[in-house]
Amino acid sequence: MEQKVKKVLTFKEGCLHIGYEPSYVYKLTSSNRIPFSKPTGKFIRFDSEELDRWQLSKKNVTIEEQRQIAFSYIKK
């Protein structure tokens, strides 16, 4: 059976979704290093898809990808 993923997450749900402690997530939100919303100006909310993109945003490039980038650059 397919499990439905909730789109808008509370602060606690967001912490569980990304697997970080609430104290660290507060640091991330206070420094604007993680995407979040405060629709009423009080409570933090997260978009689950944005959190997923954020977690995957700092992708490491493989050696083969580095070679391809370098080769493309040299060809120019």
Is 16's pLDDT higher than 80?
Answer: yes
> What is the CA 74 to chain-centroid distance, rounded?
33
Give the model's pLDDT for residue 60.
Answer: 85
Rounded to whole angstroms, the Cα distance separating 29 from 14 reads: 11
- pTM (2 d.p.): 0.72
Task: Concatenate the DSSP letters of all residues of 5-65 into one string.
Answer: PPSEEEHHHHHHHHT--HHHHHHHHHTT-S--B-TTSSS-EEEHHHHHHHHTTTPPPPHHH
Average pLDDT, whole number, for the chain?
Answer: 90
Calculate mean pLDDT across residues 33-44. 94
- What pairs with residue 73 in β-bridges? none
Secondary structure in 3-state letters for 11-24: HHHHHHHHCCCHHH
